[in-house]
Amino acid sequence: MTGPNWERRLYLTAHPFAYPLLRGLARCGPAVRVPGLGVVVNDAATAREVLLDGETFRKDGPGSPGELWTPVLGPSVLLNMEGAAHRALRRRLTDLFTPGYAEDLCARVLADPLHRLAADLARGAEVDLVAAMKVLAGAVICRVVGLAARGEDDYRRFFEQGERVVAMVSLRTRRLSPRQIARARAVLDPVGEIAARAYAAGDESTVMGRMRALGLSEEEARGAAGAFFLTGTETVATLVPRLVALLHDHGELDRVAADPGLLDRALDEASRVTTPTPVMLRSVHATTRVGGAAARPGDRVLIVTHNCCRAHGPFDLDRPPELRRLWFGAGPHFCIGYPLAMAEARLIARTLLAAAPLEIVRRRAARGVLLPAYREFTVRAAPRAGE
């Protein structure tokens, strides 16, 4: 099966009803009002206009991410803030994940597990990248929040705790039920305690220690740790197997393996096609128009980022850069963890590409997930020509 068909299969398996609806709405123009859903945005330029206007379109009103996550994370995280308070917190966090720091952190944390991954591939073993990514992404998030994990089992368990919380959300979810909030808090409150201890220790080699040095309060550090825990694991864990699949299915894997300078372009293009955040939500706070559709205070705006990005065509490694990484947001809410996510994905991808040529042994799509993903994606190193 070709790459684009496998991507469609992942989306249909994860969202068998919502995905066909959202793709069908892509044919209705830049924006369309849908009863029961809100104003649906399908166009990248319109989406950017909404994302850049934090006064009219906010993350802290009805139908927004704030309504979903504030009961779990508290009021002071970037996911659910706007205005002066958001700008002040964002300024203090600007230097948290600089590219250099993110690359150094990932290199230190992932050195041992990536060495084992490379050794497994080198001896011809079959490697399930889905299982491997749980360990690798879990290792990074453990270091970010300050958990002194004792090995791969701890990394995997920590990752799977976050996975269970995110799995409560679907593309249709407006708010969590009291029971879901209690279940999420049971996972996230201990994460906050871990972060608070790392914050109190003040070690600036840790992310929580850096937050303290940057002037954040303990409450803000706890909230940020919870947000990173929820958003910073599955994004990379789902992207890397899909990156390898897209490169393989489009005949580009060996090309990128032979030319490491193409890797960043491949990461951007795979991110566009897979769209780490397939839908972004905003709440309307003033009467306006969105791409020609009327919007009133209290309305919900669904930016179907997937439609915006896929309108620019199928996976193409030679496509000129465009969209300015819309899949990670825009303006004041552009993902602050982007440098860390890319540093992690880049380092893992380099290890995999070093073992090329790779062949896909088995793959299955995952059900019951928010981010479309493989349930299993097993690869092994194929013999090189002449061996």
Note whether residue 20 is domain-resident. Answer: yes
Residues 125-136 have pLDDT tens digits of 999 999 999 999
Strand pairing category for 374-381 and 127-128? antiparallel
Token representation of residue 169? 């959300």
Residue 45 within a domain: yes
pLDDT tens digit string along 188-231? Answer: 899 989 999 999 998 887 889 988 998 888 988 888 888 888 88
pLDDT of residue 76: 67
Judge whether 289 lies within some domain: yes
C-beta of residue 365 within 8 angstroms of C-beta of residue 91: no
Structure tokens at 172: 């249709």
pTM: 0.93
Q: What is the mean pLDDT of the chain?
A: 90
Walk along the chain (387 residues) and give the pLDDT tens digit of each residue: 444 489 999 999 999 999 999 999 999 999 999 998 899 999 999 999 999 998 899 888 788 888 888 888 877 677 777 777 778 888 878 888 889 999 999 999 999 999 999 999 999 999 999 999 999 999 999 998 888 877 899 999 999 998 888 888 887 788 889 999 999 999 989 998 999 999 999 888 788 998 899 888 898 888 888 888 888 788 899 999 999 999 999 999 999 999 999 999 999 999 999 998 899 999 999 999 999 899 999 999 999 999 999 999 999 999 988 898 999 999 888 888 899 999 999 999 999 999 999 999 999 999 989 899 999 999 999 987 655
Count how many Cα atoms sit within 13 Å of the Cα of residue 342 in the half-sphere of its side chain. 22
List the Cα angle 21/33/302 in 5-degree steps: 65
Domain membership of residue 129 (yes or no) is: yes
pLDDT given at position 386: 57
Write the CB contacts of 88 (distance below 8 Å, at least 6 apart in sequence).
none
Provide CB contacts within 8 A for 343, sequence distance 6+: 99, 102, 103, 105, 106
Task: Decide if 372 contacts 274 (C-beta within 8 A).
Answer: yes
pLDDT at 275: 94
Say if 262 falls within a structural domain.
yes
Domain span including residue 235: 3-376
Q: How far is CA 348 from CA 118, 244, 257, 262, 310, in A?
A: 10, 11, 13, 15, 25
Cβ-Cβ contacts under 8 Å for 320 (sequence gap 6 or more): none
In a domain, 223, yes or no: yes
Q: How far is CA 260 from the centre of its chain?
A: 23
In this structure, are strands 300-303 and 38-41 parallel, antiparallel, or unpaired?
parallel
Tens-place pLDDT, residues 39-71: 999 999 999 999 999 889 988 878 888 888 888
Q: Which parts of 261-361 fold into alpha helices (H)?
A: 263-274, 305-310, 338-354
151/308 Cα distance (integer angstroms): 40
pLDDT given at position 237: 94
User: Is residue 280 in a domain?
Assistant: yes
**CATH label of the domain that carries residue 12:** 1.10.630.10
Among 321, 309, 308, smallest CA distance to 268 is for 321
- Domain count for the chain, please give it: 1
Distance CA 132, CA 71 (A): 32
